[in-house]
Structure 1
Amino acid sequence: MNFQKPKVKAPSYELIHKTKNIIDKYSVNTICIESACPNISECFSRNSATFLILGDICTRKCKFCNVKHGKPNIVDSSEPKRVANAINELGLKYVVITSVDRDDLSDYGVSQYVKVTKEIKKINKNIKIELLTPDFHAKKELMDKIINSNPYKLSHNIETVESLYKNIMPGCSYKRSLKVLEYYAKTGILTKSSIMVGLGEKKEELIKTFYDLFNCGVKQISIGQYLSPSFKHHLVIKYYNKKEFDELKEIALDIGFDSVQSGILVRSSYYADKM
């Protein structure tokens, strides 16, 4: 297996320390930390972070994910204001808000997304907000509330090809995720999705997924290498090289996507502000 570990430039300790201190000060969670993202140093050095709301315990058990799963805590009513204050102190102009799955809640966490978005806009109405949401079981009345909060961009990750869902993403549905993305896209709000490679998918399955996403109205797509967080998680079946990522990018662009990020360390929120 020929795989060269990617290298990233070591950022300034002071900048990372400052970002971490603000995150700790307001007791907010970031997907950067919870998912053990390989880009954490680079993003923190750019004063960029993806905020994880609704706690840090997920009700689903996806085999690729490093976020804890189990029984979540009650929803924290102070969280929206704390997230907004942290964003303000960090001086961010573009923010990504995502969450764990909360199948234990009657609205699956939608109301917290709306409250967080509202609090951020109170502080600065010019901040661009990307909401990277769960599937909310594709319930239209819940997705309408997300849409009506008027974010700059709506995202939902397809994660992998359809044939791998049953094994890798129990509790999730490929077709349901497509329904969510199609519903988001029909509003005219910029819509994005993300997929990992290296989980055992075939090339033709990837291309089919690209077409499925594009036909749902998705305009932007991120393609990144799956890197197993630990030996307890799903194994990496294949490491893609730069040439293969470049080829996947060209295929996606030829299909018609407006913007494509494709590379070993690309993740759904990687350089989200630049797409």
Structure 2
Amino acid sequence: MATKNEEILRKPDWLKIKLNTNKNYTNLKKMMREKNLNTVCEEAKCPNIHECWAERRTATFMILGAVCTRACRFCAVKTGLPNELDRDEPRRVAESVKQMNLKHAVITAVARDDLKDGGAEVFADTVRQVREMNPYTTIEVLPSDMGGSYDNLKILMDAQPDILNHNIETVRSLTPRVRAKAKYDRSLELLRRSKELYPEIPTKSSLMIGLGETVEEIYEVMDDLRANDVDIMTIGQYLQPSRKHLPVKKYYSPLEFGKLRKVAMEKGFKHCEAGPMVRSSYHADEQVNEASRERQAKGDALLEQGE
């Protein structure tokens, strides 16, 4: 939370959001309410919701309820005591993906530290049901650290998503202040173990900047991710969801983001998205491996044929 002595920075012009409430957007929003589903696009107040929903045919579903057991100081998702598991949720997510003709579906979840498996079984079941109903849709999973359990991670990875995404979120020095209960090295370990389980599945992580980190610390995160064989990185501007959350210390310019992307690619990432509006799932449909892109292309061809 900002103190009286901390200046509230004014948002620069390059952070203006382009709205697009076309038919795709309104239909998707209506369906989410009808099926009693949550999206991180809405809950986390993502600035790219209009582009993803209205133009790219991508969406990020948030499963395991809408209440997180952690209270990270950057996140707008509600925290508290979560509800009981909804075992029918995987089916409804799969049906929604089919009804929306999604090209790429991202499945994330609130942290469920109240569950022994961290929600891994429901997560894996959601992936399997989406795959069964939507064989041409690529699937990205974005779990919490699931308590650092290798068994929980294996349950999820055995469902074989197209991308495993786990966010490092911030630099090492700021992690205790920014991320509740999470640990920097535990996140790196999850990414490393994911690759060890299924080397062919790309791994991905996201960093938000503007919380007071130095450029040298950003480079250190890049090096740590590459040392753990992470393939894809996204870098975006932190935006304060409310006065109760951590204040923005700096707004990085598009030019600075461009430089960071260049450095990331030079360090060996296969793909990097970097920009003020970039979020973890931004342009996620472009980041799958070659086999997954072929599946997407076949699905697009069938859609054009009206099948």
Same fold (TM over 0.5): yes
Quote the offset at 1:12 in angstroms.
4.1
Contact 1:23 1:29 in 2 (8 A): yes
Q: Does 1:31 align with 2:40?
A: yes
The corresponding residue for 2:111 is 101
| Cα deviation, residue 24, structure 1 | 1.3
Q: Does 1:92 align with 2:102?
A: yes
Q: TM-score, normalised by structure 1?
A: 0.97
Structure-2 residue corresponding to 1:74: 84
Whichever residue aligns with residue 175 of structure 1, its letter is: D
Aligned residue among 43, 49, 59 for 2:52: 43
Q: Tell me: higher relative CO, structure 1 or 2? Use CA pairs within 8 A at least 6 residues apart.
A: 2
Structure 1 residue corresponding to 2:202, chosen from 190, 199, 224: 190
Give a deviation string over 1:167-218, Cα, whole Å, max 9, x none. Answer: 1112110000000000112221110000000011111111001000011010
Note if contact 1:59-1:100 (Cα within 8 Å) is conserved in structure 2: yes
With the length of structure 2 as denominator, give the TM-score of the two structures. 0.87
Runs (5+) with no aligned partner, structure 1: none
Residue 146 (structure 2) aligns with = 136
Q: Structure 1 CA distance, aligned partners of 2:132 and 2:272?
A: 32
Q: Which residue of 1 aligns with 2:242?
A: 230
Which residue number corresponds to residue 6 of structure 1? 15
Alignment correspondent of 2:173: 163
Instruction: Confirm whether residue 262 of structure 1 aligns to residue 274 of structure 2.
Output: yes
2:190 aligns to what?
A: 180
Per the TM alignment, residue 93 of structure 1 is displaced from its structure 2 partner at its CA by 2.2
Counterpart in the other structure of 2:124: 114
- Select which of 204, 225, 229 maps to 1:217: 229
Contact 1:101 1:134 in 2 (8 A): yes
Within the candidate set 118, 121, 126, 2:136 is matched to 126
In structure 2, stretches of 5+ residues that fail to align are 1-8, 288-307
Secondary structure in structure 1 of the residue aligned to 2:272: strand
* 1:57 to 2:64 alignment: no
Q: Do structure 1's residue 244 and structure 2's residue 252 form an aligned pair?
A: no
Equivalent pairs counted in the alignment come to 275
Aligned mates of 1:42, 1:93 — CA distance in 2 = 14
In the alignment, what sits opposite 1:150? 160
The residue aligned with 2:304 is none
Distance 1:79 1:269 in 2: 21
Could you give the per-residue CA deviations for residues 99-118 of structure 1, whole angstroms, max 9, x where no partner exists? 00000001110001111011
Aligned residues of 2:17 and 2:47 also touching (Cα < 8 A):
no
Alpha carbons 1:8, 1:42 under 8 Å: kept: no
Residue 8 of structure 1: CA displacement? 4.1
| Contact 1:211/1:255 (<8 A) preserved | yes
